[in-house]
Amino acid sequence: MSASPRLATSTNRIVTFERRHIRPIPSTERHGSPRGLFFIWLGINMLPLTVVTGALGTTVFALPLGWTILAIVLGNVIGGLGAALHASQGPQLGVPQMLQARAQFGYHGGSLLAFLALLMFLGFFASNLVVASQSFAAVIPGLSLDVGIVVCAAIALVVAIFGYDLVRKAMAVFSIVIGVIVVVSLIMVAATPATFEISRELSFTPAGFFGVLAIGVTWQLAYAPYVSDYSRYLPEGSGAKQAFWATYLGLVLGTVLVMILGAVVGLTTGEDGNAMAALGTLLGGFGPFVLLAFGVASAVMNSSNIYSGVMCSLTVVETLWARIRVNTGLRVGMTVFYAVLAGAAAVFGKDDFLLVFKDFVTLLLYVLIPWSAINLADYFILRKGHYAVDEMFVRKGGLYGEWNRVGLLCYLIGLVVQIPFMVTTLYTGPLAAPLGFVDVAWMVGFIVPAAVYIVWERSRRGQEALA
């Protein structure tokens, strides 16, 4: 029996099914609010993975707690500026973040950057699955990590299929619930004497401090490729400033709070790197409840990685295959495929997770920084937010061309100039040792491509104006 009109209307008011996909959001459908956007970015970091990341400072980098907290705060405060500046673009343009790359890199060139962002979302989704499964396994006796990963992937998949509206509302609820739990947990852990019974040597090193700071910067910039996916629902007129502050405050406050909890828990984390199990032990009888809540929240809020990953996938698919129409069926199909692929990656890559994740985050920074620099330079300095959005969907390139060689070469320059300064377990650049293994590659990778792009693009546009 079909639902009554009243029931259907009520249901639509509770959750609106995503139908715009990568197309611009019309002004009549701009129902987002700064408060809703704030809770999205506050809640997105109320995850076990954020706890694990904060624990890196007192585990992998072996920094004292005070220095770890300082590096966490500085890194997130700096990196959050970049992410928030990208978010301010959403209300103006009304399209997903990585689709905007077509304006700097061309119609086809932009799909290369969207593909790189897709790999990032895949990595974060898989990482969240592993840590959420660890939380469940610490509470439920006999539960294997593989089963936990499959369950968490299924939960995130259901939320992501509905799209933006359900993702936003789910995050708003869990941000409040988990926020209270994090504060209570932090107080309890800090009041437990066993927390500070440290069995390993901790000491300040410049490399360790700047390593944790770089991770904080990376963590925030990792959101840059999809902040506009949500801010595009804010009204165009006053939305840019609101999007900036709602995104910045939500991201920084949520991340710093949970990472500090992770840093404290890292003091007692064992060699297996399972910070969530260490948290459960420190909390005693309250531990199972906290781990279960974290696991559920991670499974639900991980849907944002699928949602934005699919936005990137649709951008790439539309670019490569002219006959494929981006519609609801394709989005749902891509969502299912993406969840299955990331779930498989989590199952087969869950061993030695902590070290692998550290390198993943570091390499992610090297790849994202040049794109962020070029995008921000083009938007705020060269074009000052004025774009022809319809031209971004012209297959022959339209106003922005099929391949923007200036943008692509500047991006390549941004990657190359970082190589001598890189510090990872996979590769260490020749200039790393003279600098005491302090990772400054991301600074070079931001400044150089932005400066080159501004000079080169101004010269090119000046020559075109004279022609």
Percentage of the chain modeled with pLDDT above 90: 22
pLDDT tens-place string over residues 373-410: 999 999 999 998 888 888 887 877 788 888 899 999 99
DSSP 127-189: HHHHHHHHHHHHHSTT--HHHHHHHHHHHHHHHHHH-HHHHHHHHHHHHHHHHHHHHHHHHHH
The answer to whether residue 102 is domain-embedded is yes
Q: Are 414 and 456 in contact (CB under 8 A)?
A: no
pLDDT at 100: 84
In the prediction, which pLDDT does 10 show?
34
Does 99 reside within a domain?
Answer: yes
Q: How many CB atoms lie within 10 A of CB 403?
A: 16
Q: Which helix (H) or strand (E) holds 370?
A: helix 353-376
> Sorting pLDDT into bands at 50, 70 and 90, what band is 164?
low
Least confident of 176-190, 295-309, 348-362, 368-382: 348-362
Domain hosting residue 47, numbered range: 39-355
Is 34 a domain residue? Answer: no
Overall number of domains in the chain: 1
Query: How far apart, in whole angstroms, are the C-alpha atoms of residue 224 and residue 259?
Result: 19
Q: Is the predicted pLDDT of residue 5 greater than 50, yes or no? A: no
Residue 191's CATH number = 1.10.4160.10
* 243 assigned to some structural domain: yes
Amino acid at 280: G
Tokens of 248: 């910045």
Residue 22 lies in a domain: no
- Candidates 108, 99, 124, 103; CA nearest to 20 is 99
pLDDT tier for residue 4 given thresholds of 50, 70 and 90? very low
Within-domain flag for 442: no
Q: Does the pLDDT of residue 1 top 50, yes or no?
A: no
Q: Per-residue pLDDT tens for 104-116? A: 998 888 888 877 7
